[in-house]
Chains A and B, each alone.
Chain A
């Protein structure tokens, strides 16, 4: 049973517009959430994270929103650029991660169209 779900396998957005990637989780013990970005033939690279004590974290064009009551988080990219085309993974950790590792979603393939 998947504890972290990314229900959109792919998303196509026009360059310059906002990209919104969604993620849902079921385990209320998760207290730290991360987004990773993956290009073909490369490993996932860390993008942005958020602790459960916050509801928003911003880093340049990237903003992550957390709605704990809905067990939902989203990643906003604005404006979207061609280099943002990649697979985005949502991940969650509990109690400091570590021994439990990270629990990942299946990923969303974001395609930025010129």
Chain B
């Protein structure tokens, strides 16, 4: 148990659906991250939040919309996704924005049909 919880663990959605991924950390950290892991590719950083403020958007398409209402919660809102968006989405947190050691959740396995 890493202290970072992601729900749901699995999600299947159509291209016209709207869904949200949720991440919650119980570590008292101030920075949170979304990563994407596609098949046979390394983890790719999507978004970084520090003290609820977005500090990095790594050229992610607008069909992915993050939200950080407080330092313990992070959401990834999904709408009109494409089949190539099917991947494992991982949330991580670190004590602060300069934190090198990040703690990961188990991920949400997303399939877009």
Chain A residues with a Cβ under 8 A of chain B: 2, 4, 32, 34, 36, 41-46, 49, 89, 93, 96-107
Contacts and interface: CB of A to CB of B under 8 A. Distances in A.
Contacts, number: 75
Given A45-B104, A101-B35, A101-B56, A96 B42 contact: no
B78 to A, nearest CB: 19
A106 B40 contact: yes
Nearest to B90: A43
Residues of B in contact with A, size category: 20 to 34
Interface in B56-113: 56, 58, 90, 92, 94, 96-107
A13 B94 CA distance: 33
Interface of B: 2, 4, 6, 31, 33, 35, 40-43, 45, 48, 50, 55-56, 58, 90, 92, 94, 96-107
B61 to A, nearest CB: 18
A59 to B, nearest CB: 13
9 contacts: A4-B42, A89-B43, A98-B94, A99-B48, A101-B33, A101-B45, A102-B100, A103-B42, A106-B42
- Identify which of A2, A93, A102, A104 gathers the most chain B CB atoms within 10 Å of its CB: A102
Q: Which 9 A-B pairs rank lowest in CB-CB distance, beginning with the nearest?
A: A43-B104, A101-B45, A96-B98, A98-B97, A97-B100, A104-B43, A104-B42, A98-B98, A43-B106
Contacts of B31: 98
B44 to A, nearest CB: 8
Nearest to B105: A43
A89 B79 CA distance: 30
B48 A43 contact: no
Contacts of A106: 40-42
A46 B101 contact: yes
Contact of A45 (B2, B58, B97, B107): B2
A34 B100 contact: yes
